[in-house]
Structures are given as C-alpha cells and as structure tokens.
C-alpha cells in the first residue's frame, strides 16, 4: 500500500497533478455526485422515518460532510500512481 503512495519515483508534483486533473474538476465532480447521493439519502431517510423534515435535515448535514470527505479522497487518489 505504501508503494502506491510513493510518487517520488515518477517525479510527481502538484503542478504535474494539476495538469492531469485540476482541483476545480474535482470540486464539480464532488458537487454532482453529492446531489445524487443526497437525493438517495433523503429518500431512504423519508422511507425509514416517514418524516420529510427529518429526512431533509439528515440530507442537508450529509451533503456538506460528504462533499468535504469526497474532495479530500479524490485529491489523495490523484497522488496514487496505481492505474495511471
């Protein structure tokens, strides 16, 4: 696993990573995916609680936290050379 994170052999830098996929692309992918995921969460929450207000509250908290987590996850994967 550590070998996957070792990007020094290929001379990877932020500038090189930026040319492959810019952070703004990761942000747009994050937002579009979270819209899909949040709708799913709201529907499931509504089904389980039978309360739309609770479902919307759960969905809104989940929207923000998971966007932050996904963005970080996406940027870390850009440092991994596996599959590139």
Q: How far is Cα 17 from Cα 6, in angstroms, rounded to an integer?
A: 14
* Residues composing the chain: 84
pLDDT at 53: 97
| Digitized pLDDT (tens) for each residue of the chain, 84 residues in all | 555 555 555 555 666 655 677 888 878 887 888 889 999 999 999 999 999 999 999 999 998 898 888 889 889 988 998 887
Within a domain: residue 58? yes
Q: Show Cβ contacts of residue 17 under 8 Å, excluding neighbours closer than 6 positions.
A: 78, 79
Structural domain range at position 41: 22-79
Within a domain: residue 30? yes
Q: How far is Cα 28 from Cα 26, in angstroms, rounded to an integer?
A: 6
Number of folded domains in the chain?
A: 1
């Amino acid at each position: 696993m550590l070998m996957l994170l070792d990007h020094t052999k290929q001379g990877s830098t932020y500038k090189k990573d930026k040319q492959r996929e810019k952070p703004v692309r990761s942000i747009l992918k994050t937002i579009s995916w979270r819209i899909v995921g949040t709708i799913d969460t709201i529907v499931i929450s509504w089904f389980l609680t039978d309360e739309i207000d609770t479902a919307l509250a759960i969905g809104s908290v989940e929207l923000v936290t998971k966007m932050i987590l996904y963005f970080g996850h996406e940027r870390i994967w850009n440092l991994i050379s596996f599959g590139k």
